[in-house]
Amino acid sequence: MSNNGDVKLTAKDFSSDQDVRWCPGCGDYSILAQVQRSFPDMVGIKKENIVWISGIGCSSRFPYYMNTYGFHGIHGRAPAIATGVKVARPELSVWVATGDGDLLSIGGNHFIHACRKNVDLKVLLFNNKIYGLTKGQYSPTSEQGKVTKTTPFGSVDYPFNPVSLALGSESTFVARTIDSNPKHMQVVLKRAAEHKGLAFIEIFQNCVIYNDGAFDAISDKATRDDNVLILEHGQPMIFGKNHDKGIRLEGYSPVVVDISNGKYSANDLLVHNEFETSPVLSMMLAHMTDSPGFPTPMGVFRQILKPTYDEGIEVQINNVKAKKGEGNLEKVLFGGNTWEVQ
């Protein structure tokens, strides 16, 4: 299959003529590579119908490097610009590249409302838990106590949990992946592309300059299997280097149990259901992140279907046209109380 009918496109076809200017070793390179690799396989999306929209920050340079339509906006406003594009032209495939400062600080309002309205956008949050382009201030996802240039004695504020925020804002597709796991990211990207509605992906992305190693525990070969829970629909929640640990529900709380000593087996564990309409399971998984003793879930937290905003607007227009007839300007101009002057 291909993006343009006849010729199968490759990653190279999605690469623009601009030099990529991220710092060497930046996690953004991996995201760009996975996007360029997975786009040729996105069946039914024509290359000329793809639009990348961004705000401000390192992540927001992304559109310049994609050989698609692209719009580098202003700080925080990418979801609003993208909403305008998608509402105007629902046939376009609209992608948002954004960062933790851009989306969750200055752009927080636009993000939650785009989620609430279920605008059919694909929102990729490059979360490096730091302000990179402004050279190292703490961000709304930085952990409490973070020492940065603006918090020399440690940050006092609590961070956002982006997955929880997206779920709370009624995003219909919420997933997480990491720059160090290309295969996983490609799978998640394709799932997002196939989703009709707002798809939110939190991508853990290492900033080599200002926050290097922020994700070591979940990306280093030696430790990641013990610290990451890969979510798979219909599968019990098992993790650990030796597949010996699982998540079990006790009362209202998840607990980590050992399934190697005979007390518990896979049958006792929570089974992941991406399509659960209740937000309880996905919210619980979201809050396992950064909870001491718990693994960090990766994959699709939740996917539900409901009509999109852009589609709703089209449907309404068609209904009004069916009821009132196609608009007639002369009729509107001369409508209402008129009188003749002879």
Partner 1 sequence: MAVKKKVESLSEVTVRFAGDSGDGMQLTGSQFSDTTALVGNDLSTLPDYPAEIRAPAGTIYGVSGFQLHFGSSDVHTPGDRPDVLVAMNPAAIKKNLSELKNGGIIIANTDSFDAKNLKLAKYETNPLEDGTLDGYSVFQVPVTTLTAKALENSALSQKEINRCKNFFALGMMYWLYDRPLDQTLVWISKKFQSKPEFIEANETALKAGYNFGEMTEAFTTRYRIEPARLPKGTYKSISGNEATALGMLTASVKSKLPAFLGSYPITPASEILQYFSNYKNFGVKTFQAEDEIAGITSAIGAAYAGYLGFTTTSGPGLALKTEAMGLAVMTELPLVVINVQRGGPSTGLPTKTEQADLLQAIYGRNGEAPIPVIAAATPSDCFNMAIEASRIAVKYMTPVILLTDGYLANGSEPWKIPHNDEIPAIEAKFVTETEGFQPYSRDENLARPWVKPGTPGLEHRIGGLEKANIKGTVSYDPDNHDLMIKLRAEKVRKVVNDIPKLEVDGDSTGKLLVAGWGGTYGAIKEAIIKVRRKGYNVSQVHFRYLNPFPGNTGEVVSSFKKVLVPEINLGQLATVLRSQFLIPVEQLNVVRGLPLRTADIADKIIELLGGENE
Contact set with partner 1 (CB under 8 A): 4, 16, 18, 46-49, 51, 53-54, 56, 63-64, 66-74, 77, 80-89, 91-92, 109-110, 113, 313, 316-317, 320-321, 323-327, 329-330, 332-334, 336-342
Cβ nearer to partner 1, comparing 117 with 176? 117
Rounded-to-10 torsion of CA 191, 197, 198, 201: -10
Tokens of 216: 């070591």
Cβ nearer to partner 1, comparing 267 with 342? 342
Are 244 and 258 in contact by the 8 Å Cβ rule? The answer is yes
Are 57 and 101 in contact by the 8 Å Cβ rule? The answer is yes
Instruction: Output the smallest distance, CB 125 to partner 1, in A.
Output: 18
Kindly provide the b/e burial profile for residues 313-338, where b requires at least 16 CB atoms within 10 angstroms of the residue's own CB. beeeeeeeeeeeeeeeeeeeeeeeee
Cβ nearer to partner 1, comparing 177 with 308? 308
Cβ nearer to partner 1, comparing 66 with 163? 66
Q: Which amino acid is at 96?
A: V
Instruction: Output the smallest distance, CB 51 to partner 1, in A.
Output: 5
Q: Can you tell me the distance from the alpha carbon of 247 to that of 275, in angstroms, rounded to the nearest whole number?
A: 19
Q: Which helix (H) or strand (E) holds 123?
A: strand 121-127
Cβ nearer to partner 1, comparing 75 with 191? 75
Cβ nearer to partner 1, comparing 292 with 336? 336
Instruction: Output the smallest distance, CB 101 to partner 1, in A.
Output: 16
Instruction: Output the smallest distance, CB 316 to partner 1, in A.
Output: 6
Instruction: Output the smallest distance, CB 84 to partner 1, in A.
Output: 3
Distances (CA, A) of 238 to 186, 250, 265, 268, 283: 22, 16, 10, 11, 18
Instruction: Output the smallest distance, CB 239 to partner 1, in A.
Output: 38
Instruction: Output the smallest distance, CB 102 to partner 1, in A.
Output: 13
Distances (CA, A) of 16 to 51, 81, 97, 230: 13, 22, 16, 33
Q: Can you tell me the distance from the alpha carbon of 120 to that of 88, in angstroms, rounded to the nearest whole number?
A: 12
Cβ nearer to partner 1, comparing 226 with 311? 311
Q: What angle do CA 75, 80, 82 make, to 5 degrees?
A: 105
Per-residue DSSP letters for 178-210? ETT-HHHHHHHHHHHHH-SS-EEEEEE---TTT
Cβ nearer to partner 1, comparing 68 with 180? 68
Instruction: Output the smallest distance, CB 208 to partner 1, in A.
Output: 23
